[in-house]
Amino acid sequence: MTSVPVDAGPPRLQRAIRTPEGETFLRGLTGTRVRQNGCAAAAYAALYANVDVITAYPIRPYTAIMMNLAQFVADGILDAEYLHADGEHSQFSAAFGAGSCGARAYTGSSGVGVTYGYEMYSIISGARIPIQMAIADRTLDPPGDFGSEHTDALCTRDMGWLMGWAATPQEVFDKSLLAYAIGEDPRVLLPQMVVQDGYFVSHIAGEVEMPAAAQVDEFLPPYQLPFPLDPRRPVSHGPQIHPEQGPPLQLERARAMEDAIPVIREKTDEFARVFGRRYPHFVESYRLEDADIALVISGGHAVTCRAAVNRMRAQGIKIGMARLLWVRPFPGDDLRGALAGVRAVGVVETNLGLGGASYGGILSLDVTTALYHLDGPRPLVTSFMAGLGGETVPMAEFDWMAGKLGQAVERGRVEKAAHWVGFED
Amino acid sequence: MTHQVVRQTLPLLAEEDGRDLYYLPDLPEEDPYAAGHRTCAGCGPAIQYRWVLKAAGQDTVVAGPTGCMYVANSTYLCTPYTVPWAHTPIASGGSFTSGVAAGYEAMIRKGRYPGPYPNILVMAGDGSAADIGIGSISGALYRDHDALFVCYDNECYANTGIQTSPTTPYAGMTTFTPYGKAIPEGKKLPPKNLARMMAEGHPHCYVATTTVGYPVDLINKTRKGLNHVGAAFLHCYTPCQKGWVYQTSMTVELGRRVVESGLWPVWEYDPGERAYRYFHPPVQRPVTDYLAMQGRFGHMLPEHVARTQAGANRNWELIGMDVPQALRDLEDPARHQRLADEEYSMPVNRGIGA
Amino acid sequence: MSVRGTHVPEHLRLPIAGVTPPPTEKEGQRLFPTGNFRFYRPVYRDKTPPCNHACPTGEQIQKYLDHVKHDRYLDGYLTILEDNPMPAVTGRVCYHPCETACNRAVHDEPIGIRGVERFLGDFGLKLADNPVKPALPPLNGQTVAIVGSGPGGLGCAYHLRRKGYASVIFEALDQPGGMLRAGIPAWHLPGEVLDAEIAKLLDLGGIEIRCGVRVGDDPDGVTLGYLRTTYDAVFLALGQDVGRRLDAEGAQARGVIGALEFLRETGLGRPVTVGASVLVIGGGNTASDAARSAIRLGGAGGNQASATIVSLEAEDELLIQPEDLAQARDEGVLFRPRTALVSVLTGEDANVRGAVLAAARLARDENGAVRAQIAAGTEYEVPCDTILVAIGQVQVLDWLPAHYTGHGLVMADESGRVPDEDAAVFAGGDVMRGPSMVVDALGDGKRAARDIDRVLSAEPLRPEDPVEVMPYEKLNPAYFRHAPRIEAPLAPAAERRASQVTEVTLAYSREQAVAEADRCMSCGVCNGCDNCYIVCPDVSVMRDTRQNGHYSIRTHYCKGCLVCVQECPTGALERVPELDFDEPGDVVRMETAFAPYEGAHAEQAPFTRRLIEDAIAEYDRSRSIDPNGPGDTP
């Protein structure tokens, strides 16, 4: 028996069925508002998405996601293979394996767990297998520190995954479903990192509105990898290539990342239509219409930042906030649109990019590059190292940042590339 | 509502029951490992790959961690596999396959795949299985995923140009263990006993060893491993002409000699009985008959040969065979010359060169 | 946007993510014709197994053993019949030079070929229809005269008939069979079996045996001249059925009988009186057969006779077939080796009453003839009442032209042709060779038939083609287990002594025949074991048929690793150097390791593009049909 003829189309995979317990549980949730933290919200989203394979390995603070899912599986609410891997590298490899044969795979990690499996990121995105990784971010060693920093996820930014932070448990829930829909779309086929601030989002409760299973089914079609490892339709994944074949494949990966941009817009609008919650496509523009100064920020500290902006506006300071909902693909167009007319921009960096041109963090590298291509007068750009190690960023520190930005506007130049908030006068 | 996962059982070939050791009438017809792969001429792992896939058949999903059987087989965006196959990073043999196995369990139960549950295989080299990927395979065996984990052991990292791996034998020369004045044996360390680790450490799994000297044995153990519901591990001895420096035509002969000289016990571990079944070869050779055929041992001095013989004799005892006095005597270095000067029983030689 | 405006050249448009379509088993991975790796190429070349080579009638022993191994008895039988018409006979009486040559003797013990041949011969006798008959050509109108209906004459007649020639066999005795009837005892070769084989032969048509006709120089009888002029060719297979006379004092006494005469009369069913105390003079097979027959017949039967073989040969020099010697001992035959008969002692009734024996040594005179070198002073007397003389065979040849004969034999060239300018006259068997085996005569008859056909078709005679015989050292012994030879069972000695007709050697059962045939190593001949097929790492040994080994090498991919050659148990596979490539097609020696042509891999690109496009189209379809319905129709 030889292989199926080449003209046969890809094998069709049916929508996964739910268990009776699962259906009952989801029916009970429909239309309710549940008070839960970001970890639980992620687990609930995975439940709604009826994931097939979950690969778990414990590391704080994301572990709670997997503990929630373990209970769902044990109770028969979710029918999934729950695989407790022997390390993060194995964890991601197993998810990759499951995704490669057509199973919807879900995994996650934090901190050095994220970096332990680093080898796998380029492989999985290059192979175009759209698994989802839930990251509750955490400072990287050394030494051990449970607190939140964005470096763990950000240092993988070049590896070709879709990546973005959710600032609240509701957004964690919504973004997880959205990420699957975008990543699994046949025009995209990229894995996704749905990131939330460790502790601040992962372990502080917020209200999450639960949809109907049917809404999720409408929004999220069955995972249909066009070239799964399926005996009905054999293919080989990942043969060794000749160097000359490298550039076209790399070009294709770049194209996939760029093709993701219109799909993100489309799916975000669709999400609004199905669930009634509308998110900006890429950038939350908060009070930027007439702002002189602006803070660019990502993640849970944006909640405090919003409050700080409101207070400063009340004092007459023309300040606004641009929150990045997606870091990869980096939304250059949207950010430029949001910051047009702003005279000084401060990037809030809850991360560490040692030795870089920003002399501080990672985000400003992308922000500065994006602003360099502005058609028109470019704002001054500096960055603020804040919230490192899992520290809070209190309103006073945002005030301080605004002060620096104001000074920069007056002087016509920034004092320096990166300010270490709390360690300077 | 939940669909049942139906599994398939592959029939075993009749073992030689009094017939001579050739004439294999029940060979499966399929060759999911097609021609046109760029392995070396006479590649032992390629022979083994062909037999394993022949045993498994078309309803199979294969994972191939980085190694010779990745790079040489799938060079330049080609593939010799007529079954679905995926490359995995070298450490991910066990874990990727765990994902595939878990994926199929879930997809069949949840109605996404009609079934039956396919054969799931990973073909890892010794570098992958015994070294960088040992944790991943141990995890997979521990979690008892229904798959067969095959290690093709060419006793080195061959793909990267022959470096030492944990299964490189004592005194085996590689580019990381060359011999020289300061280190006359080249490799000072004896190898890990990978298969034994897997059996002892995961007593619920089917574990077996085999070589490319015995096609029926290899095919049957592959099928037994695939039939076993749960994780199975098969450790295959597969000579590498490039790394071991021997005539390309001698690959299968070496597969027999290594067993007959006591350096590679062939056994099967039965998880039901928690017992080992050892193969007793019809001939017990001195280790020189094996070592002298390979250039990678050519530098061995008498004490090195004697030590290897001692190791072989312990293996004979382990598998329950008497150690002939002649072989006991050969534990004495005084009985040996430098390996390059030793006489040994040569096989019939139809190849080229010495 | 970075990808806007990019353009990938045609030959680099690759599958998405490198996902690659599979090859087919039949074509392999076409992009890599790995045949260009090789410096050697395997080829199949059958050599001659030593058994085939040793068989004087050229039986394809390996081939029929292979048939039996696989339960194809009819095929095995037909294989023998290509070279030997009477396997039920040879399977009982042949001295099996094949077994002596058998390579398995080096490995453990030789194959019991004769027993398997007997199994097939008996199988053939039980067939309702003669399987050779349907393929026989019609008679071509030519007839050959054959003198002697022993194995030589019968064999020649058979092979001639297979070529379309009729024959008339002139047999001096009143029953056909020659030495098969009148030399080999019934307990070795039962008369019924011989009759059945001869009947099968006659059933082919075109063969006539005229018994009771002695060809000689009687002008009223059948002469050589008559044969030469009446028939298209002549084959002389007279045998040597005349016993050499004992040249000793008292040799004329009654009770001194030629062993050959004794065996002949017994074989023709005429009773012979033999005493109870028999001496047999001679150290060869005739002596052994005579002694054993005497035990059965002598002393008024009833198992009372004794027989002693008196030979110049020492025990280890006896020319008796080893198994016959062992059987003789079991039956109670006694031996006096290194002993000569000096004189016969006669009683008052002119009957033998004893003999004077002496210690002696076998010596040869200046002509090479056997002479006794008696040690003086060692004479002693033994009583006996019969002396059977088995000291050699000769033939009466004085009726043949002088230029036909020499040294007591008919002279023939290496084609077996007798020097005769005007007629095609051939000879074979004992009369040409001196005392030889049944199978020698069969072989001579076969070759004579072939050469008679050549002569009558005006084709030149030519010598046999040289063959390459396969020695044990060139086999791969790893594939052959060690298993003892299954000896053919023997009837118990006590039963044997008591009866002239109880067969001494019994048949293999079917299981035994198959098991014994299974030990055949098929030296030098491919027998389809599939070893080469299975060990090839490059799937380049193609099985065209599965039976009896037809394989071809797929040179497009074969890398010349020679593992198949090494692992061929029989040595049928060899290597030849390959430095040029003369295969037509696209096997080109690559200078580098890269793909043979630019853009080769781009052929695979449309494959995944189509998969992606199908997936997108399906997705779009599923979104537009019914937003609330299932997007997952099969």
What pLDDT is recorded for position C297? 85
Mutation pick from B15, B70, B77, B248 vs chain C, by most beta carbons of C within 10 Å, is B77
Give which of B131, B156, B126, B123 is closest to B294, Cα–Cα: B156
Mean per-residue pLDDT for C147-158?
97
Do C480 and B21 count as a contact with CB atoms less than 8 A apart? Answer: yes
Q: Nearest Cβ partner of B112 from A14, A90, A242?
A: A14
Q: Which of B253, B259, B214, B267 is nearest to B55 (CA)?
A: B214
The answer as to whether B211 is a domain residue is yes
Residue C601 has pLDDT above 80, yes or no: no
Report the distance separating Cα C68 and Cα C517, nearest Å.
6
Please check whether residue B353 touches C, CB under 8 A. no
A244 close contact with C: CB closer than 8 A = yes
Confidence category of residue C593, pLDDT binned at 50, 70, 90: very low
DSSP 3-state of C200? helix
Amino acid at C272: V
Q: What is the pLDDT of residue A14?
A: 78
Confidence of residue C53 (pLDDT cuts 50, 70, 90): very high
Question: Does some domain include residue B123?
Answer: yes
Average pLDDT score over residue span C538-560: 83
With 80 as the cut, is the pLDDT of residue A2 above it?
no
Which of A91, A99, A90, A49 lies closest to A69 in space, CA to CA?
A: A49
pLDDT band at C544 (very low <50, low <70, confident <90, very high): confident
pLDDT at B77: 80
Are C531 and B41 a contacting pair at CB < 8 A?
Answer: no
What gap in Å lies between CA C496 and CA C487, rounded to an integer? 18
Q: Which of residues 36-75 of B touch A (CB under 8 A)?
A: 57-61, 63, 70-71, 74-75
Paired strand residues for B28: none
The yes-or-no verdict on residue B43 having pLDDT over 70 is yes
Residue B180 has pLDDT above 50, yes or no: yes
Please write the tens of the pLDDT for every residue from B57-100: 999 999 999 999 998 888 778 889 999 999 999 999 999 999 99
Tell me the mean pLDDT in the region A148-166.
Answer: 97
C17 touches chain A (CB under 8 A): yes
Nearest CA in chain C to A189: C612
Q: What's the pLDDT tens digit per position in A42-97? A: 999 999 999 999 999 999 999 999 999 999 999 999 999 999 999 999 999 999 99
Confidence band, pLDDT 50/70/90 cuts, at residue C626:
very low
Tokens of C88: 């039920």
Structural domain harbouring B85:
44-180+192-287
Cβ neighbours, 10 Å, residue C302: 10
Residue C546 has pLDDT above 90, yes or no: no
Q: Is C11 exposed, middle or buried (0-12, 13-18, 19+ CB in 10 A)?
A: middle
**Residue C320 contacts residue C328 (beta carbons within 8 Å):** yes
* A4, A252, A330, A333, best to mutate vs chain C, most C CBs in 10 Å: A252
Helices (H), chain B: 44-56, 68-71, 93-109, 126, 134-142, 194-201, 215-227, 241-244, 251-260, 288-291, 302-318, 325-329
Give the residue from A188, A227, A245 with the most C CB atoms within 10 Å of its CB, the best one to mutate.
A227
- Stretch C395-418: mean pLDDT: 92
Residue A94: CB partners within 8 Å, gap ≥ 6? A53, A55, A83, A85, A105, A107, B95, B96, B98, B99, B102
Would you say C288 and C93 are in contact if contact means Cβ atoms under 8 Å apart?
no
Indicate whether B308 belongs to any domain: no
Interchain contact, B77 vs C15, CB within 8 Å: yes
- Residue C632 is predicted with a pLDDT of 44
In angstroms, rounded to a whole number, what is the distance separating the alpha carbons of residues A117 and C156?
Answer: 86
Total domains, chain B: 1
Residues 604-633 of C with CB under 8 A from A: 607-608, 611-612, 614-616, 618-619, 622-623, 627-628, 630-632
The Cα–Cα gap between B45 and A274 comes to 54
- pLDDT surpassing 70 at residue A193: yes
Task: Kindly report, residue by residue over A202-220, the tens digit of the pLDDT.
Answer: 999 999 999 999 999 999 9
Nearest CA in chain C to B257: C478
Q: Looking at the predicted structure, is the pLDDT value of residue C363 above 80?
A: yes
Residue B334 lies in a domain: no
Q: Chain A contact for C376, CB < 8 A? A: no
Instruction: State whether residue B107 sits within 8 Å of chain C by CB.
Output: no
Structure tokens at B214: 């015995």
Assess whether pLDDT exceeds 60 at residue B354.
Answer: no
- Residue B337 covered by a domain: no
**Look-up: residue for tokens 């057509």?**
A102
Average model confidence (pLDDT) across chain C: 89
Q: Which residues, including other chains, have CB under 8 Å from residue B95's CB and lie 6 or more apart? A: A85, A86, A89, A90, A91, A93, A94, A97, B88, B136, B139, B140
Instruction: List, for residues B292-336, the tens digit of each pLDDT value.
Output: 999 999 999 999 999 999 999 999 999 999 999 999 999 999 999
Contact A6 C21 (CB under 8 A): yes
pLDDT (0 to 100) of residue A8: 52
Distance from CA of B192 to the nearest CA of C (A): 28
Find the CATH number of the domain harbouring B234: 3.40.50.970
Q: Return the HEC string of chain A.
A: CCCCCCCCCCCCCCCCCCCHHHHHHHHHHCCCEEEECHHHHHHHHHHHCCCCEEEECCCCCCHHHHHHHHHHHHCCCCCCEEEECCCHHHHHHHHHHHHHCCCCEEEEECHHHHHHCCHHHHHHHHCCCCCEEEEECCCCCCCCCCCCCCHHHHCCHHHCCEEEEECCHHHHHHHHHHHHHHHHCCCCCCCEEEEECCCCCCCCCEEEECCCHHHHHHHCCCCCCCCCCECCECCEECCCCCHHHHHHHHHHHHHHHHHHHHHHHHHHHHHHHHHCCCCCCCEEEECCCCCCEEEEECCCHHHHHHHHHHHHHHCCCCEEEEEECCCECCCHHHHHHHHCCCCEEEEEECCCCCCCCCCCCCHHHHHHHHHHCCCCCCCEEEEEECCHHHCCCCHHHHHHHHHHHHHHHHHCCCCCCEEECCCCC
B61 forms beta bridges with B120
- A128 and C16 in contact by Cβ < 8 A? yes
Q: A73: which residues sit within 8 A by CB, 6+ positions away?
A: A54, A79, A80, A82
**Confidence band, pLDDT 50/70/90 cuts, at residue C592:** very low
The span from the CA of A67 to the CA of A74, in Å, is: 10
* C522: confidence class by pLDDT, cuts 50, 70, 90: very high
B244 is written with which tokens?
């071991």
- Asked, for residue B295, whether it belongs to a domain, the answer is no
Q: Decide: B305 and B287 in contact? Cβ < 8 Å.
A: yes
Give the type of residue at B128.
S
Q: Starting from the edge strand earliest in sequence, which strands make up the sheet with C386-389, in order?
A: C256-258, C386-389, C277-281, C306-310, C334-336
The C-alpha R_g of chain B, in whole angstroms, comes to: 20
In chain B, which residue's Cα lies nearest the Cα of A243?
B76
Retrieve residue C263's tokens.
């065996």
- Contact (CB, 8 A) for B258 and B290: yes
Where is average pLDDT lowest: A123-127, C65-69, C245-249? C245-249
CB–CB contact C483 B19 (8 Å)? no
Q: What is the pLDDT of residues A8-29, one digit of tens each?
A: 556 777 789 999 999 999 999 9
Query: Rounded distance, CA C206 to CA C299, Å?
Result: 45
Instruction: Provide the 10 A C-beta neighbour count for residue B234.
Output: 27
Residues 99 to 128 of A: which have CB under 8 A from any C CB? 126-128
Highest mean pLDDT among A366-375, B338-347, C494-503, C618-627: A366-375
Alpha helices, DSSP H only, in A276-323?
Answer: 301-314
Query: Is pLDDT at C634 greater than 50 in this prediction?
Result: no
The pLDDT assigned to C600 comes to 59
Question: Are B77 and A222 a contacting pair at CB < 8 A?
Answer: no
CB–CB contact B24 C24 (8 Å): no
Residue C631 has what pLDDT? 43
A 145-174 residues with CB < 8 A to C: none
- Residue-by-residue DSSP string for B156-176: SBTTTTSB--TTPPTT--BTT
By the CB < 8 Å criterion, does B6 face chain A?
no
State whether residue A23 is helix, strand or coil.
helix
User: Are C48 and C468 in contact, with CB atoms under 8 Å apart?
Assistant: yes
- In the prediction, which pLDDT does C337 show? 95
- Assess A23–B contact: CB distance below 8 Å, yes or no: no
Amino acid C604: pLDDT:
67
For residues C558-571, average pLDDT: 93
pLDDT > 90: percent of chain A: 92
Helical packing angle, A246-275 and A169-184, nearest 10°: 130
> Contact C426/C412 with Cβ under 8 angstroms?
yes
CB atoms B348 and C473 under 8 Å? yes
**Considering only CB atoms, which chain A residues are within 8 Å of C614?**
9-10, 226
How high is the mean pLDDT of chain A? 95
Nearest chain C alpha carbon to A234: C22
Position B340 confidence tier, pLDDT thresholds 50, 70, 90: very high
Q: Which of B211-215, C158-162, C246-250 has the lowest mean pLDDT?
A: C246-250
Specify the DSSP element, H or E, that contains A402.
Answer: helix A395-411
Q: Hey, are the CB atoms on B249 and C24 less than 8 Å from each other?
A: no
| pLDDT at site A33 | 97
Kindly state the percentage of chain C with pLDDT values over 70. Answer: 92
The C-alpha atoms of residue A40 and residue A210 are separated, in whole angstroms, by 12
Q: Which residue reads 């574990």 in tokens?
A: B207
User: Is residue B72 in a domain?
Assistant: yes
Distance CA B30, CA B50 (A): 10
The closest CB to that of C480, out of B20, B30, B40, belongs to B20
C214: tokens are 């002695």
Residue B134 lies in a domain: yes
